[in-house]
Structure 1
Amino acid sequence: MTYLQEKFCLPVLLLVTCTDRRTARWATGPFTCEARGWTIHSTHPLVLGPDNVPKITDRRTAARNPAMAVFSAITHGRDPEAPAILEATAGALKAMENSQAAEHLGGLLEIGLGDTPARETWRELMGFTNFFPGRGTMFEEVYLDGEAKGEAKGEARAILRFLEARGITVPEEARERITGCTDLDLLSRWLDRTPHVQCVHDLFAEEPEDTDAASA
Structure 2
Amino acid sequence: MRMTQILLWLNGFLWFLFFYMVFFVVPSDAAQGVAQRIFYFHVPTAWVSFTAFTVSFIASIRYLKKRDLQLDKLAAAYAVTGWIFTTGVMITGPLWAKPIWGDFWNWSDQRLMSFFVLWLLFAAYGLLRFSMPDSEKRARFSAVLAILGFLNVPLVYAAIRIWNTPSHPAAVIAGKKGSGLKDPTMLWTFFIGVIAFHFLMWALARALKTYYIQKSTVEQQIWKNEFKGE
* Same fold, TM-score > 0.5, yes or no: no
TM-score, length basis structure 2: 0.23
- Whichever structure has more helix as a proportion of its residues is 2
Structure exhibiting the larger radius of gyration computed from Cα positions: 1
Work out which structure has the larger RCO, using CA pairs closer than 8 Å and 6 or more positions apart in sequence: 2
- Whichever structure has more strand as a proportion of its residues is 1
